[in-house]
């Protein structure tokens, strides 16, 4: 959606959103306005307090007095809006407007990021380069566990301390901003978003391979696709990439490629299946604590007095019976039990899915079964969330706007589910290669009768892929030329890298009747002419060191060849 909007425009939008966020945080400390909307005599406001209504927590009626709506606006309006944006407009939209993502880039904008001293082994020259988190480091491999842990911890802190205590909530949000800026100082790229932000697992769940209205980077052919790091060149005034290559398969460059590549990453199943458990557990706990649903749906928990003082209060009150477990412990017991249940159900569902589909005569791979169950869990999480999330504010609306919102939630979830359920890795790879393949086919003398009056641009990816069979009758030289052109195009899009290119292009080699050896021969030729395309971004050559870059690129290709031969 926003990948075509200029960085200058987005920069202004992000500043407006950051300022709005800061105003909201300030209102948590001082708010003379919104209490007027909750006055019992303000008949025009749907948020007015009903002094005669008894909202019980166990057997005690909470006192109803006018209150500041800052916490209600944050929890019951802004947070649900973020979830809706992720499912509907996707990752690229969210990351380009997210205030925390923007603020984490402040050190880069000021040119004060941490750098380390590096000495060139060949020339002996010393330079200072940005520090990025290595993908083979512990954090690079297991960050999903860390982020999901932050997510669980944060929801517990929310129930215990910051749901209604405005001072604690304001302090928590300010501390989060400083953490994002600190990570942006310590590490280059979008390290905060990739490796630390607790919202990242939520984004991973709701976006899936692609959002409802998200763009397909591999079809856009943009030099700065999706939400990748970008900047405006001070000399030319033109937008260019600011990517430092902190991730080989970056969700900010190609979200769907990242989805398929990291489907089996450590912690991926825990995030997908455990998130549904967290959604159920979070809202269920309000009932388990108070003994009724009025406590949650009226939004009383956003302005409850003495929230912090009640941390050691009785944690469970079920059907009129108090269970003497402190609230601080009961919250995490609820989270742990529900996460364990949904995680187990997800693993069982994967096995049942494979058995059922095989019984239907349409066997699927373990990867595709995992994707099918992921999709079902995402839809369930989305509908479950909006059955409760935002309801303390939505339920105050007139009937028809409320019904309209409910219909929108059902429609968005259903359309997303329909588009995503049958999506496969092969579909993505075929569409990805089809663009490059179409360019190569346009250079060949193809009989117009084969296209039935259409041109190549009108053919679908499947038709383009079938048309590659025509190349089987063409000379080896032309087939190698076509393969080289496709590889070059994919490398320029950053759709592939050297280690992953061999498997990515396997089916294409089969269709072009090329040998595996031809792949590495082609890469070595590209290394000699375009070494910068083969090297990771952080290792791209500087002026005057092209020979060294060629050597590094050829070495990388030969290393990849050896790893495949093993």
Alpha-carbon dihedral sign for residues 465, 488, 493, 238: negative
Q: CB burial class (10 A; 0-12, 13-18, 19+) of residue 331? A: buried
* Core vs surface per residue 143-164: b (16+ CB within 10 A) or e: bbebbbebbbeebbebbbbbbb
Query: Which DSSP state fits 225?
Result: -
Residue 73 has pLDDT above 60, yes or no: yes
Residue 562 vs residue 153, higher pLDDT? 153
pLDDT of residue 38: 92
If DSSP states are collapsed to H, E and C, what string results for 377-406?
A: HHHHHHHHHHHHCCHHHHCCCCHHHHHHHH
Q: What is the C-alpha separation between 448 and 459, in angstroms, rounded?
A: 13
Q: Which range is most confident: 32-36, 112-116, 123-127, 272-276?
A: 272-276
What is the total residue count of the chain? 566
* Range of weakest confidence among 46-60, 344-358, 532-546: 532-546
Residue 444 pLDDT level (bands cut at 50, 70, 90): low
Residue 474 pLDDT level (bands cut at 50, 70, 90): low
* Range of weakest confidence among 182-191, 293-302, 460-469, 480-489: 460-469
Q: What is the mean pLDDT of the segment spanning 103-124? A: 85
Residue 185 vs residue 529, higher pLDDT? 185
Longest dimension (CA), the chain: 87
Closest CA to 494 of 222, 230, 232: 222
| Cβ atoms within 10 Å, residue 172 | 17
Q: What is the C-alpha separation between 282 and 154, in angstroms, rounded?
A: 11
Average predicted confidence (pLDDT) for the chain? 85
Where is 325: in which H helix or E strand?
strand 321-326
Q: What is the C-alpha separation between 420 and 428, in angstroms, rounded?
A: 12
pLDDT in tens, 131-177: 888 888 999 999 999 999 999 999 999 999 999 999 999 999 999 99
Residue 65 has pLDDT above 70, yes or no: yes
Q: What is the C-alpha separation between 136 and 223, in angstroms, rounded?
A: 27
Q: What is the C-alpha separation between 379 and 414, in angstroms, rounded?
A: 8
Residue 269 pLDDT level (bands cut at 50, 70, 90): very high
pLDDT of residue 122: 67
Residue 95 pLDDT level (bands cut at 50, 70, 90): confident
The residues that bridge with 314 in the sheet, in sequence order, are: 326
Residue 223 pLDDT level (bands cut at 50, 70, 90): low
Residue 91 pLDDT level (bands cut at 50, 70, 90): confident
Residue 351 vs residue 364, higher pLDDT? 351
pLDDT of residue 132: 86
């Amino acid at each position: 959606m926003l990948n075509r909007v200029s960085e200058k425009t987005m920069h202004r939008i992000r500043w407006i959103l950051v300022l709005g966020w800061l105003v909201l945080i300030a209102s948590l400390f001082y708010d003379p306005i919104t209490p007027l909307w909750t006055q019992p005599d303000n008949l025009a406001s749907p948020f007015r307090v009903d002094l005669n209504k008894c909202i019980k927590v166990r057997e005690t009626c909470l006192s109803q007095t006018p209150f500041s709506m800052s916490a209600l606006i944050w929890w019951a309006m802004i947070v649900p809006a973020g979830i809706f944006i992720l499912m509907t407009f996707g990752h690229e939209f969210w990351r380009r407007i997210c205030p925390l993502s923007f603020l984490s880039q402040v050190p880069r904008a000021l040119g004060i990021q941490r750098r380390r001293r590096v000495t060139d082994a060949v020339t002996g020259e010393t330079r200072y380069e940005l520090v990025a988190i290595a993908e083979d480091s512990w954090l690079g491999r297991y960050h999903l566990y860390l982020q999901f842990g932050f997510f669980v911890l944060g929801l517990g802190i929310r129930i215990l301390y910051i749901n209604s205590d405005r001072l604690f909530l304001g302090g928590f949000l300010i501390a989060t901003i400083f953490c994002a800026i600190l990570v942006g100082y310590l590490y280059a790229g979008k390290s905060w978003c990739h490796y630390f932000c607790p919202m990242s697992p939520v984004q991973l769940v709701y976006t899936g391979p692609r959002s409802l209205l998200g763009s397909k980077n591999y079809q856009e052919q943009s030099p700065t696709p999706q939400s990748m790091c970008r900047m405006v060149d001070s000399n030319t005034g033109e937008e260019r990439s600011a990517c430092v290559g902190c991730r080989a398969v970056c969700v900010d460059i190609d979200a769907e490629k990242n989805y398929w590549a990291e489907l089996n990453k450590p912690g991926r199943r825990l995030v997908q299946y455990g998130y549904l458990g967290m959604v159920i557990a979070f809202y269920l706990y309000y009932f388990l604590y108070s003994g009724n649903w009025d406590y949650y749906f009226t939004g009383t928990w956003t302005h409850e007095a003495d929230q912090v003082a009640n941390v050691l209060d009785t944690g469970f009150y079920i059907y009129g019976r108090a269970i003497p477990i402190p609230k601080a412990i009961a919250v995490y017991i609820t989270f742990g039990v529900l996460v364990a249940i949904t995680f187990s159900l997800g693993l069982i569902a994967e096995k049942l899915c494979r058995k059922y589909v095989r019984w239907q005569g349409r066997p699927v791979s373990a990867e595709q079964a995992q994707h099918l169950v992921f999709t079902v869990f995402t839809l369930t999480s989305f509908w479950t969330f909006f059955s409760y999330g935002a309801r303390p504010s939505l339920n105050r609306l007139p009937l028809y706007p409320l019904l309209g919102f409910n219909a929108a939630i059902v429609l968005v979830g259903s359309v997303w589910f329909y588009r995503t359920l049958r999506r496969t890795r092969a579909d993505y790879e075929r569409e990805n290669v089809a663009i490059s393949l179409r360019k190569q086919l346009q250079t060949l003398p193809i009989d117009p009768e084969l296209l039935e009056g259409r041109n190549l641009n009108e053919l679908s990816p499947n038709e383009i892929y079938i048309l590659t069979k025509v190349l089987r009758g063409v000379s080896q030289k032309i087939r190698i030329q076509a393969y080289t052109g496709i590889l070059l195009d994919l490398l320029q899009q950053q759709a592939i890298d050297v280690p992953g290119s061999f498997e990515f292009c396997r089916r294409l080699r089969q269709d072009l009747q090329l040998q595996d050896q031809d792949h590495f021969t082609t890469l070595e030729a590209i290394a000699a002419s375009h070494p910068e395309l083969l090297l990771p971004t952080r290792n791209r050559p500087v002026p005057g060191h092209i020979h060294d870059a060629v050597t590094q690129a050829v070495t990388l290709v030969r290393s990849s060849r050896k790893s495949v031969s093993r």
